[in-house]
Amino acid sequence: MRFEKDTIEILKKALIKMEDGFESLPGVDTDHDLEGTEQVIMEVAERMQDNFPYFHPLYAGQMLKPPHPLARVAYMLSMWINPNNHALDGGRASSRMEKEAVAQIAEIFSWKNSLGHLTSGGTMANMEALWISSKLSPGKKVLASDQAHYTHNRLCDVLGLHFESVPCDDEARMDVSALEEILERENVGTVVATIGTTGTGSVDPLPEMIELRKRYGFLLHADAAYGGYYILVDNLSPGTRGAFDRLHEVDSIVVDPHKHGLQPYGCGCILFKDPEVGRFYRHDSPYTYFTSSELHLGEISLECSRAGASAVALWATQRLLPMVPGGEFAKGLSKSRDAALWLYDKISSDGRFRTILSPELDIVVWAPNGASASEISLRSEELFKAAEKRNLYLAKFKYPSSLLRAKWKGVDFDQEYVTCLRSCLMKPEHFDWIERIWTILAESAV
């Protein structure tokens, strides 16, 4: 296979256009060591061959999605300026592009007057959400499901907040009666609803959680880092759709453009429904914030120096592929989900395999058959390797035995976790390749 290289010509043209803006400046003599640079870069290229082929449809493993070529070229172009979106003094154009791009993301959740900004990733975005929650309801507990990302538990420890995890039902969604039991006995300030767990793509039952909020009063934070963009598609199951339809009712949303938004790492995004929370960020910097009375992004974010290039790449992508239902971007997500459903059907009707959940988004988790948890785990390891030999790249996933007992009758659960296989089918191309993926998988399982 060959890499896409057409965008390099576009980059050259764009550099010429961009430098027109600086034509009044005198030329600068530089004597960069081009020979040395080439030598090192060729060494880098050789070392970088040692990677799974994340960009290829036959990589159907971990949660990795290649950036759109447009996002890549926009990011590259920006690096000639290397703007810093902390302040307008560090990046006027990219700060404005960030504000526009973030407003467009807020719009897919029907938020018109929210406060938000980009972050370098999901950890910082979720941390800001939990931090603001703790300011709004100090001293109270934070809850998230036991299938939520481990970052919530750890961030609460970092922030000095009390955390408790809520058991999940058999569909890996937060168990609402378990949630209510905790709400009864604890002083809960914030509940995290995971909109697409990173493990199985399960979506917490948001409508029921919103009902409980009416009775118990707490802040709802949606960790939609992975799943958020799925609000745009037309092929969700009614239950999952029901959760997305209520997403606009939460207090804060995290969505990672570097997960499903076609962006290179690191690009996260935090949105707050109530723009008034901006007051908690306030600080006084003596050396920035001078150029204008316009908002500097550093006034509403915890991070200081931050790549403006991420904002430029995101803005450009959303310009080419507007985030509207029925648009090309939404169709790409629908295809990923169709690919997941197709593969799930094949696997679950094949006696050699066991499945767990019908995919809510685009992740399929399954395992080869076996009499015990340990045997199934061993066979997962073997299948992982056999597939890799045939150029099909899967991921492994430790699934709690406790969530499998009711589903896998007759299996001897002789260990706490079962190693399963997991495919995040995040690339639109996965749909076109799914029969081939299945063929290789079926061959590997012999």
Contact between residue 396 and residue 421 where contact means Cβ atoms under 8 Å apart: yes
Which residues ranging from 213 to 242 are in contact with its own copies (CB under 8 A)? none
Residue 184 touches its own copies, criterion: CB under 8 A = no
Among 114, 123, 145, 334, binds its own copies (CB under 8 A): 123
Find the part of the chain contacting its own copies (CB under 8 A) among 23-31, 201-209, 244-252, 404-412. 23-31
Asked if 265 is part of the footprint of its own copies (rule: CB under 8 A), the reply reads yes
Determine, following the binding rule CB under 8 A, whether residue 21 of this chain makes contact with its own copies: yes
Number of H helices, E strands in the chain: 14, 11
Using CB under 8 A as the binding criterion, the count of chain residues that bind its own copies stands at 137
- Determine, following the binding rule CB under 8 A, whether residue 406 of this chain makes contact with its own copies: no
Distance, CA of 252 to CA of 109 (rounded, Å):
11
Instruction: From 39-47, 213-221, 336-344, 353-361, give the range in contact with its own copies by CB under 8 A.
Output: 39-47
| Length of the chain (residues) | 446
Contact 54, 64 (CB under 8 A): yes
| C-alpha 233: how far from chain center | 16
Burial annotation 375-389 (CB, 10 A radius, 16+ → b, else e):
bbbebbeebbebbee
Interface residue with its own copies, options 177, 235, 292, 305 (CB under 8 A)? 305
Task: State the nearest-atom distance from the C-beta of 95 to its own copies, in Å.
Answer: 10
The verdict on 389 binding its own copies (CB under 8 A) reads no
- Residues in 414-433 that interact with its own copies by CB under 8 A: 417, 422, 429
Site for its own copies in 188-217 (CB under 8 A): 198-199
Residue 435 lies near its own copies (rule: CB under 8 A): no
Give whichever of 50 and 184 is closer to its own copies, judged by the CB atom. 50
Q: Is 257 in the site for its own copies (CB under 8 A)?
A: no
Q: Count CA atoms within 13 Å of residue 281 on its CB side.
A: 21
Position among 170, 245, 303, 350 found at the interface with its own copies (CB under 8 A): 303
Is residue 287 close enough to count as binding its own copies by CB under 8 A? Answer: yes
> CB burial class (10 A; 0-12, 13-18, 19+) of residue 371?
exposed
283 binds its own copies (CB under 8 A): yes
In the block, residue with structure tokens 């971990």? 62
Burial class (CB in 10 A: 0-12, 13-18, 19+), 424: buried
Q: Which of 23, 276, 279, 406 binds its own copies (CB under 8 A)?
A: 23
Concatenating the DSSP letter of every residue in 266-313 gives S-EEEEESSGGGGGGG----SSS--S-SSPPGGGG-S-SS-BHHHHHH
Question: In this complex, which beta carbon is closest to its own copies, that of residue 222 or of residue 225?
Answer: 225
Letters for 330-369 (x = contact with its own copies by CB under 8 A, - = none) are ----------------------------------------
Given a contact cutoff of 8 angstroms between Cβ atoms, the answer to whether 115 and 106 are in contact is no
Among 17, 352, 405, 407, which residue interacts with its own copies (rule: CB under 8 A)? 17
Structure tokens given for 328: 């090309």
Backbone Cα Rg of the chain: 23
Asked if 343 contacts 151 with a C-beta cutoff of 8 angstroms, the reply is no
Please pick, from the candidates 272, 344, 366, 397, the single residue that binds its own copies as defined by CB under 8 A.
397
Binding status of residue 399 toward its own copies by CB under 8 A: yes
For its own copies, which stretch binds (CB under 8 A), given 32-40, 241-249, 329-337, 369-377?
Answer: 32-40
